[in-house]
Structure 1
């Protein structure tokens, strides 16, 4: 169920109050962008698809019944927008797994890295690790990437994931287990290839 404030903004937006919808965008734009970024792996595509997602959200507001949280509903729309775009690119054979990560100041933080202000060397290591994590996500299947983004990055509950994917809790848990295993295998290989003695290793709770 949406919060009372969200529900009021939703109702006003449906009635044509654009200021109310702008407030909804302000509240959720970072989360929508984060979802899009983790799917696409670069800022330009993430920004474009976040805008497209909000257009679809606005168009579909009258269909929101409040059976789930507003964020879960938004997530469902955003993930569908990103998945549709990825399918289009795969058909055109233009989707690349390699991204240029030069804009490190704008790169979103990854899961559970320490929050203390790092020194220059540690900051560089974190930046390199973020690149490797995103590259690893890009190498995963769409199914595995989607469920990892939902659970590990967006911190959706198992029930919320089951609702988004329209599947049982058992399916969510088994799919997540396989996705974590696939991520760990690929990430280990990436770290081994990047250095004979990698400074960053996969630890429980640091990445997944």
Structure 2
């Protein structure tokens, strides 16, 4: 997948010192970065701090950023490294509940459907919390952040075959946990 031309243009301008261009990049990507970090750390306040750190590090490193690297992938790599460092320091791995929007797939479900949906989401959250961080990480990037296999490979610094096999193992592990529940 090619780089987003807007991201590339704004990243180049930001790397040259244009703070308005960097502000545009922050506004565009802050939601996804924060969502990812919240789910990785399980603590919204910590995720907010890590997201800020992500953008500070990105701003500092932008002069050395190369346009052949997708900006979003590069940014998520920074966030990923900060999340792993935090989890190692805290010696804990948790999972943040999925958005409430995922709890009700219907626009106007009845009480039984809402309860069933809520139970499925809670079951999924519990299953994800039991997975190792590497499995949870790759599932979040693919299924929640909807990254391509290629972008995940760049973000996690893995080859494409490893991404595919790790994602398959993560999905199998998730299914095994769900069956066990």
Cα distance in structure 1, aligned partners of 2:23 and 2:178: 39
TM-score (structure 2 length as normaliser): 0.82
- Divergent runs of 4+, >4 A: 96-99, 108-111
Cα distance in structure 2, aligned partners of 1:31 and 1:108: 16
Structure 2: give runs of 5+ residues left out of the alignment.
Answer: none
Q: Residues 69 and 118 (structure 1 numbering): CA distance in 2 closer, same or farther, change over 3 Å?
A: farther
Q: How many residues align?
A: 180
User: How much does 1:98 deviate?
Assistant: 8.0
Asked if the contact 2:58/2:78 (under 8 Å) is kept, the reply is yes
SS of 1:185's partner is helix
Asked if the contact 2:41/2:93 (under 8 Å) is kept, the reply is no
The residue that corresponds to 1:40 in the other structure is 41
User: How much does 1:120 deviate?
Assistant: 5.1
Asked if the contact 1:25/1:54 (under 8 Å) is kept, the reply is yes
Superposition RMSD in Å: 2.7
1:97-127 deviation line (CA, Å, top 9, x unaligned): 487x6xx9xx36459x736344455445444
The residue that corresponds to 2:22 in the other structure is 21
SS of 1:86's partner is helix
Cα distance in structure 2, aligned partners of 1:6 and 1:47: 22
SS of 1:68's partner is coil
Q: Residues 180 and 24 (structure 1 numbering): CA distance in 2 closer, same or farther, change over 3 Å?
A: same
Cα distance in structure 2, aligned partners of 1:120 and 1:21: 45
SS of 2:69's partner is coil
Cα distance in structure 2, aligned partners of 1:138 and 1:18: 38
Q: Residues 165 and 49 (structure 1 numbering): CA distance in 2 closer, same or farther, change over 3 Å?
A: same
Q: Residues 42 and 130 (structure 1 numbering): CA distance in 2 closer, same or farther, change over 3 Å?
A: farther
Residues 120-199 of structure 1 aligned to structure 2 (within 5 Å):
122-190=113-181
1:20-46 deviation line (CA, Å, top 9, x unaligned): 211111111111112112212232222
User: How much does 1:56 deviate?
Assistant: 1.4
TM-score (structure 1 length as normaliser): 0.73
Cα distance in structure 2, aligned partners of 1:118 and 1:44: 32
Asked if the contact 2:54/2:79 (under 8 Å) is kept, the reply is yes
User: How much does 1:87 deviate?
Assistant: 0.7
Structure 1: give runs of 5+ residues left out of the alignment.
Answer: 191-208
Bigger helix share? 2
Cα distance in structure 2, aligned partners of 1:161 and 1:51: 22
